[in-house]
Structure 1
Amino acid sequence: MTTLTIELSCLLLATFLGAGLVKGVTGMGLPTVAMGVLGTAISPVAAAAILIVPSLTTNVWQMLAGPDKLRLMRRLWPMMLCIVIGTVLGARLLVIVDPVWSGRTLGLALIAYAAYALFSPAVSIPNRLEPWLSPVIGMVTGVVTGATGVFVIPAVPYLQSLGFQKDEVVQALGLSFTVSTVALAGGLLAHGAFRLHQIGLSLLAVIPALIGMWLGSIVRQKISPKTFRRCFLLFLVVLGLELTLRPFS
Structure 2
Amino acid sequence: MFEFSPLITPVIFGFACAVTMLGGFVKGAVGFAMPLIMISGMGILIPPELVVAGIVIPIVISNGLQVARSGFGNAQVALKEHWRYVLVVCVMILISAQFVRSIPSNIMFMVLGVPVVALCCIQLIGWRPQIAPRWRRPFEWAAGALAGTLGGLAGTWGPPTVLYLLALNTPRTSQMSVQGVIYGLGSVMLLLGHLQSGILNAQTWVFSAALVLPALAGMWLGFRLGDRFDQERFRRVTLWVLIIAGVNLIRRGVMG
Matches of residues 86-235 of structure 1 in structure 2 within 5 Å? 86-235=92-241
Give the corresponding residue for 1:28.
Answer: 32
Shift of 1:40: 1.8
Once residues 132 and 226 of structure 2 are traced to their aligned partners in structure 1, the CA distance between those partners, rounded to angstroms, is 32
Question: Aligned letter for 1:84?
Answer: C
| 3-state SS of paired residue (1:64) | helix
Structure 2: state its 5+ residue gaps: none
Once residues 161 and 190 of structure 2 are traced to their aligned partners in structure 1, the CA distance between those partners, rounded to angstroms, is 15
| 3-state SS of paired residue (2:203) | helix
Shift of 1:229: 0.4
1:248 aligns with 2:251: no
Q: Is the 8 A contact 2:60 2:191 kept in 1?
A: no
| 3-state SS of paired residue (2:127) | coil
Q: Is the 8 A contact 1:49 1:185 kept in 2?
A: no
Once residues 5 and 238 of structure 2 are traced to their aligned partners in structure 1, the CA distance between those partners, rounded to angstroms, is 28
| 3-state SS of paired residue (1:195) | coil
Question: Aligned letter for 2:26?
Answer: V
| 3-state SS of paired residue (2:145) | helix
Question: Aligned letter for 2:34?
Answer: L
| 3-state SS of paired residue (2:98) | helix
Question: Aligned letter for 1:57?
Answer: I
Give the corresponding residue for 2:78.
Answer: 72
Shift of 1:120: 3.2
Structure 1's consecutive aligned runs of 4 or more residues displaced over 4 angstroms after TM superposition are: none
Give the corresponding residue for 2:16.
Answer: 12
Identity of aligned residues (%): 23
Shift of 1:206: 1.1
Give the corresponding residue for 2:5.
Answer: 2
Report which stretch shifted further, 110-119 or 49-58.
49-58
Shift of 1:83: 0.9
Question: Aligned letter for 1:29?
Answer: A
Shift of 1:123: 4.1
Once residues 96 and 153 of structure 1 are traced to their aligned partners in structure 2, the CA distance between those partners, rounded to angstroms, is 25
Once residues 53 and 112 of structure 1 are traced to their aligned partners in structure 2, the CA distance between those partners, rounded to angstroms, is 25
CA RMSD of aligned residues (A): 1.8
Question: Aligned letter for 1:204?
Answer: A
Shift of 1:240: 0.8
Q: Is the 8 A contact 1:144 1:153 kept in 2?
A: no
Corresponding pairs, count: 249
Report which stretch shifted further, 157-166 or 206-215.
157-166
Instruction: Tell me the TM-score normalised to structure 1 length.
Output: 0.92
Shift of 1:124: 4.4
Once residues 52 and 67 of structure 2 are traced to their aligned partners in structure 1, the CA distance between those partners, rounded to angstroms, is 21
Give a deviation string over 1:36-86, Cα, whole Å, max 9, x none.
111222222221211111111111111222241111011111111111221
Structure 1: state its 5+ residue gaps: none
Give the one of 53, 59, 64 matched to 1:49: 53
Q: Is the 8 A contact 2:49 2:100 kept in 1?
A: yes
Once residues 127 and 198 of structure 2 are traced to their aligned partners in structure 1, the CA distance between those partners, rounded to angstroms, is 41
Flag the 1:223–1:153 CA change in 2: closer, same or farther, 3 A. closer
